Structure 1
Amino acid sequence: MNCWALKSAEKLKQHLIIFTRYPEPGKTKTRMIPALGDLGAANLQKQMTEYTVSQVKELQKTVYISCEVRFAGGNLQLMRDWLGLDLVYQPQGEGDLGDRMARSLSDAFQSGREQVIIIGTDCPGVNSQLLAKAFEQVCNYDLVIGPAIDGGYYLIGLRQLIPNLFANIDWGTSQVLQQTVNIAEKLNLSKIYLPALSDVDYPEDLPIWEQTIQRQMENFSN
């Protein structure tokens, strides 16, 4: 019996970490500010995070996982007031993105989790169905990775902390995915790719988000 078949068993300990930022105007989605203004960019961050959380809660209806939010900006009280008391919150802490992701993974594995996935909130293609598939795959592969069209990745899943995957990466560039894959290949890690998806980082990406909202409205009306 594979670990996916044991999803309701106590020994299966799957954990999802959401990386996001408190939507303070002028300090979030800054690349959107020329098109949306400080407040509009912060509101986009707010909406995209809420959408991601809604997809995770949808996933939890059918798949037994725990979840936490790793946040930058704001504070614990602001996060609770925003997203509610039914989530676990931890500050991302210091360091570059790699340091912060490695720290969150280390904490998760040390607390007894066995398969851990990290996602951000910039990619509206990350829905409950895709997350379910990612958790199924992380049972069978050392590395599950969701490639972003811009050369980064929107999801990474592991069965153990592999610090090398987060060191000496040029974060925020189009080289992130390839550099990570090169390290994985040097370490002989088994890996699988999820579908390539687009982030919503720049004004020209806004139609991707607008299409997501439209689909939500259509589903609600149906």
Structure 2
Amino acid sequence: MNKPCRILLFAKAPIPGKAKTRLIPALGARGAGALQAALLRHTLTTVAQTRLECELWCHPDSAHPVFSALAREFGVSLHVQTGNDLGRRMGYAAGADRHRPAILIGADCPSLTAWDLREAALALEADQDAVLGPALDGGYYLLGLRRTHPSLFEGISWGEHRVLAETRARLRILGWRWRELSARRDIDRPDDLPSLAAYPHLETLIRAFT
């Protein structure tokens, strides 16, 4: 019997000046931190609809009160990201339980749906080695893995537009089968902010965290 997928949600603590730094020129440090917290809660609400186990991987640690509050509200376990760059942190988390498929996501993509997550889980539990959710900026908003390999996390141009292309190339070299989901927009830069108009509840959440 296939073991059920686990969702690994990666998030920075919503500390003003440390979170969503590319958005500080548009929102200010406090506003960017509040947006980070709002997006995290929004993403956990989406994840909860799947009924899949979720682990919240926190950076730089799990001590922030927002993490504790959300863990209680959504029943997720807290873990501390380990590694000196994003790739190492993702690789560590993905390899923490090698006997179960993992779906790695961030809190940057409000258009992520519960069906995206279910589709990824079904693909991994069937015959796919990996699942990619392409982001419009050239990265990805989701990486599903039935098994893991260091090459998927090492030597990748994190934060650049080549991340998706480089990951596809690594999957081809490995000879893995993978499925791709619909392309979606991450909220990383000021140019992405107008797309938040599609999610009016986020404004309420932002005020709550400000």
TM-score, normalised by the number of residues in structure 1: 0.85
Pair 1:201–1:34, CA change in 2 (3 A): same
**1:183 & 1:94 partners in 2: Cα distance?**
21
Give the match's secondary structure for 2:10.
strand
CA RMSD of aligned residues (A): 1.9
Pair 1:27–1:80, CA change in 2 (3 A): closer
> Does the 8 Å contact 1:76/1:89 carry over to 2?
no
Q: Which amino acid aligns with 1:87?
A: V
Question: Which is higher, the Rg of structure 1 or of structure 2?
Answer: 1
For residue 81 of structure 1, the aligned residue among 48, 60, 68 is: 68
| More contact order relative to length (CA 8 Å, sep ≥ 6) | 2
Q: Which amino acid aligns with 1:73?
A: P
Give the match's secondary structure for 2:171.
helix
Give the match's secondary structure for 1:33.
helix
What's the counterpart of residue 32 of structure 1?
A: 23
Give the match's secondary structure for 2:108.
coil
> Does the 8 Å contact 1:165/1:183 carry over to 2?
yes
Q: Once the two structures are superposed, what CA deviation does each residue of 1:2-26 show, in whole Å capped at 9, x if it has no partner?
A: x7xxxxxxx5321100000110111
Give the match's secondary structure for 2:84.
coil
Give the match's secondary structure for 1:157.
strand
Pair 1:214–1:90, CA change in 2 (3 A): closer
For residue 133 of structure 1, the aligned residue among 119, 125, 147 is: 119
Give the match's secondary structure for 2:179.
strand
Matched residues, number: 201
> Does the 8 Å contact 2:131/2:178 carry over to 1?
yes
Worse-superposed segment, 74-83 or 196-205: 74-83
> Does the 8 Å contact 1:28/1:45 carry over to 2?
yes
> Does the 8 Å contact 1:142/1:158 carry over to 2?
yes
TM-score, normalised by the number of residues in structure 2: 0.89
Q: Which amino acid aligns with 1:91?
A: V
- Within the alignment, does 1:186 sit opposite 2:177 as a pair? no
Give the match's secondary structure for 1:47.
helix
Q: Which amino acid aligns with 1:117?
A: I
Q: Which amino acid aligns with 1:104?
A: A
Q: Once the two structures are superposed, what CA deviation does each residue of 1:179-210 show, in whole Å capped at 9, x if it has no partner?
A: 11111111111111101111111112112222
Give the match's secondary structure for 2:54.
strand
Q: How does 1:1-222 map to 2 (within 5 A)?
A: 11-60=2-51, 65-76=52-63, 78-85=65-72, 86-109=75-98, 112-113=99-100, 115-139=101-125, 140-213=127-200
Worse-superposed segment, 39-48 or 126-135: 126-135
Percent identity of equivalent pairs: 34
Pair 1:55–1:44, CA change in 2 (3 A): same
